[in-house]
């Protein structure tokens, strides 16, 4: 076999591809400091920190952020419970319709978000359900369940049945086994799944526009700025903060599940 070094062309194409993926995000960081406030002029005429103070004093940004955090926390909590239960059932038991259940769980992210959105919207309209934080959470928890499920199911697969049998042989009942054997083993996978679910919900906009009514989550606030730019410098700062806030859970989830056969985030 020839030397195991990549051909030059392949190396250039691979690294150029990675650069293509990252350059636009890095650009956001530069724009957050620009002194220009009317156009998207490049290169920036000057750099300033003023916009951070301006953004800090904006009540609409804070209230949108507050709603986003509330929705993400509630959806993550629900998704953790439902996703883990589902993963436990699918991985520990063989039953009729098991394949269907695992397909059903991934359906909310396999179909385009707009389908989930319009479906929920039309269900709310048929049932005369008024829009509230709860209607947003209903949508978010449904697709957040998938990431928790994916992480948990991969970990359950690695958790060997003999440990659970050993625990039972030593006299532990089901709940003691759950508390002392199962939970410590799956905890980091659940934490990773929860972080990813939080990031997913915090960023979601397509389903949310259909289920939010007049409420503004942070992504909806950004979408309005994108359609009708009014506060370009504030949007630049918010965009940069959102990038940083979503990077942390991703890195955290990566380090928590590293080294196993599964790695978190593979199926957003």
Partner 1 sequence: MMQVARKGPWAALSDLFWRRPGVLLIVLLGPPLIWLVVIYIGSLVALLVQSFFSIDEFSGLITHEFTLKTYGELLRPSNFDIILRTTLMAASVTIASAFIAFPIAYYAARYATGRMKAFFYLGVMLPLWSSYLVKVYAWKLILAKEGILNWAIDGIGASAVLNGLLALPVIGGNSLSVSYVGTFLVFLYVWLPYMILPLQAALERVPRNLLEASDDLGAQSRQTLRYVILPLALPGLIAGSIFTFSLTLGDYIIPQIVGSSRLFIGQAVYAHQGTAGNIPLAAAFAVVPIVIMGLYLWAAKRKGAFDAL
Q: Single out the residue of 53, 62, 163, 174 in contact with partner 1 (rule: CB under 8 A).
A: 174
Residue bearing tokens 């150029």? 16
Does the protein bind partner 1 through residue 22 (CB under 8 A)? yes
Interacting positions 48-77 with partner 1 (CB under 8 A) = none
Give the count of residues interacting with partner 1 (CB under 8 A): 91
Contact stretch for partner 1 (CB under 8 A) within 58-66, 78-86, 151-159, 185-193: 78-86
CB of 50 to partner 1, least distance (A): 19
The verdict on 42 binding partner 1 (CB under 8 A) reads yes
Contact pick of 47, 111, 166, 187 for partner 1 (by CB under 8 A): 111
Q: How far is the CB of 160 from partner 1 (least distance, A)?
A: 18
x/- binding map, residues 193-212, to partner 1, per CB under 8 A?
Answer: ---x--x---x-xx--xx--
> Measured from the CB atom, is 40 or 56 closer to partner 1?
40
- Window of 51-59, 63-71, 102-110, 156-164 that interacts with partner 1 by CB under 8 A: 102-110
Among 73, 82, 129, 181, binds partner 1 (CB under 8 A): 82
Give the chain's radius of gyration (CA, Å). 23
Should residue 183 be labelled a site residue for partner 1 when binding is judged by CB under 8 A? no
The CB-of-44 to partner 1 minimum distance in angstroms stands at 10
Per CB under 8 A, does 13 bind partner 1? yes
- Report 112-171 residues binding partner 1 (CB under 8 A): 112-116, 118-123, 125-126, 138, 141-142, 145, 168, 171
Are the beta carbons of 9 and 23 closer than 8 angstroms?
no
Nearest to 71 by CA among 3, 146, 133, 143: 133
| Residue 20, Cβ density class (10 Å: 0-12 exposed, 13-18 middle, ≥19 buried) | exposed
Candidate residues 110, 163, 166, 187; the one interacting with partner 1 per rule CB under 8 A: 110
| Closer residue to partner 1 (CB): 12 or 53 | 12
SS3 for the chain, per residue?
CCCCCCCHHHHHHHHHHHHHHHHHHHHHHHHCCECCCCCCCCCCCCECCHHHHHHHCCHHHHHHHHHHHHHHHHHHHHHHHHHHHHHHHHHHCCCCCHHHHHHHHHHHHHCCHHHHHHHHHHHHHHCCCCCCHHHHHHHHHHHHHHHHHHHHHHHHHHCCHHHHHHHHHCCCCHHHHHHHHHHHHHHHHHHHHHHHHHHHHHHCCHHHHHHCCCCCCHHHHHHHHHHCCCCHHHHHHHHHHHHHHHHHHHHHHHHHHCCCCCCCCCCC
Compute, in degrees rounded to 10, the torsion defined by CA atoms 133, 137, 138, 139. Answer: 110
Binders of partner 1 in range 219-258 (CB under 8 A): 219, 222-223, 226-227, 235, 239, 242-243, 246-247, 250-251, 254, 258
Q: How far apart are CB 260 and partner 1 at their closest, in Å?
A: 13
Residue nearer to partner 1 on the CB measure, 96 or 184: 96
């Amino acid at each position: 076999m020839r030397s195991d070094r990549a051909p030059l062309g392949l190396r250039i194409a691979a690294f150029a591809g990675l650069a293509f993926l990252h350059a636009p995000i890095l650009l956001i960081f530069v724009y957050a400091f620009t002194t220009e406030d009317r156009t998207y002029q490049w290169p920036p005429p000057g750099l300033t920190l003023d916009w951070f103070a301006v953004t800090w004093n904006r009540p609409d940004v804070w209230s949108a952020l507050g709603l986003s955090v509330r929705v993400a926390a509630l959806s993550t909590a629900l998704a953790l419970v439902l996703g883990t239960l589902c993963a436990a059932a699918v991985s520990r038991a063989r039953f009729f319709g098991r394949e269907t259940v695992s397909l059903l769980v991934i359906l909310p992210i396999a179909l385009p978000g707009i389908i989930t959105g319009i479906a929920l919207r039309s269900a709310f309209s048929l049932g005369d359900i008024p829009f509230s934080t709860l209607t947003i959470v209903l949508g978010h928890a449904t697709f957040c369940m998938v990431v928790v499920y994916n992480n948990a199911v991969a970990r359950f697969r690695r958790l060997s049945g003999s440990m659970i049998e050993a625990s039972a042989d030593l006299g532990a009942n089901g709940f003691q086994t759950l508390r002392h054997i199962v939970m410590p083993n799956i905890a980091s996978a659940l934490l990773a799944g929860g972080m990813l679910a939080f990031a997913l919900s915090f960023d979601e906009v397509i389903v949310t526009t259909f289920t939010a009514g007049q409420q503004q989550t942070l992504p909806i606030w950004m979408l309005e700025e994108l359609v009708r730019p009014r506060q370009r410098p504030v949007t630049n700062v918010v965009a940069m903060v959102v990038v940083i806030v979503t990077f942390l859970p991703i890195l955290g989830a990566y380090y928590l599940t590293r080294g196993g056969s599964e790695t978190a985030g593979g199926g957003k």
